[in-house]
Amino acid sequence: MGNNKIHFKPKHIIALNALALLLVMQCVALTAQYFSYQSSVHQALDNVQQRISLDSAFLDVGNKTLNTPVDQIAIYRYLRRLNGTLRQSDYPVRVSSIQGIKTESDDFALYPNTIPVTFINAEQEFIVDLRSKTASSALTFSWSAFLASLFVSPLFFISNKTRKNRKAIEEVMPPTPKLIINLENKTISNGVDDKMVTLQNKPLCFYTALVKYCIEYPDNPLPPHKDVPPELLILANKSFGRLIELGHTKRKRPDFNANLDKTLSEIRAALDEVFSSYNEEKENYYPPRAQGEGSRSKQHSYALPLIKGEDIEIIGN
């Protein structure tokens, strides 16, 4: 029994261990806060840009071709309403100007970062300035990390001098495939083996947008006999714009409503090849085929209701 006696470490070692553990836990918490904030800002910027794009049809921002001026009063009112909604929803971003018309009803002192955004809708160019807070504003002392360090630290205070060497048997779990969309080389893969398929610009952009749309709107059906929803079109056009930035194409944006059946067929063929060894996992990413009546079936939907954010990785987004 004497050989199994438990000894405590010296007090100065205990203090150093406790301090080091507290610092490590705080660093982990701060890192998590930073990436969580960055993710929330990125999502907020996308949502606000989509909102402005949808509202742009009702905004009189002038027309260079017709030489018509911007309706400044309408822009002021819209900015006040939009920022009021963002404030109520506790969004980390604000909109400071549209078409150079700046709002003076909001104080942007807490939102020093300026993000200029330009997009074209209905033959008009929209120039929008978005503002966001700095990442440092989201970093705070984590009491959860502090309490966790208090609970864990006693485990480091004990030194068992009679500890026996034991072999740890680790059960090796087979890797789980997930969808990887790489806009930089225009491919999709499963992240496990070396199977990789190159997609053309239109199906690649549409599928990237489809995945994002179904994650954000998991309950929305997508019947093929109806037009593609505006939110999905915005995401597809954004992906195409990213391909232009990456130097893959200089062509005009394709009509994502045209030849939808062909686009979906190309996507399914690529997924059949990439996930040929993982048929069960493929179902999460596979746009369902129409049953019986074909693509004209009003009950059919090509949405991906099972897909989750952790199931995918988009490179070059």
Most confident of 32-41, 194-203, 299-308: 194-203
What single-letter amino acid sits at 143? W
Domain ranges of the chain: 56-134, 179-315
**pTM for the predicted model, two decimal places:** 0.47
What is the torsional sign of CA 227, 228, 233, 236? negative
Label residue 154 by pLDDT band (50, 70, 90): low
**pLDDT for 156:** 57
Give the bridge partners for 6, in sequence order: 160
3-class SS at 208? helix
**8 Å CB contact between 181 and 188:** yes
Pairing of strands 179-182, 93-98: unpaired
Q: How far apart are CA 167 and CA 149, in angstroms?
A: 28
Kindly indicate the confidence band of residue 273, based on its pLDDT and cuts at 50, 70 and 90: very high
- Digit-coded pLDDT (tens) for 61-84: 766 666 677 788 888 888 888 888
Nearest CA to 109 out of 100, 96, 91 is that of 96
For 278-313, give the DSSP string: -HHHHTTTPPPPP-SSGGG-TT-----TT--GGGEE
Kindly tell me the sign of the dihedral angle through the C-alpha atoms of 260, 265, 270, 274: positive
Q: What is the pLDDT of residues 238-249, one digit of tens each?
A: 999 999 988 888
Nearest to 41 by CA among 99, 113, 109: 113
Give 184's pLDDT tier (boundaries 50, 70, 90). very high
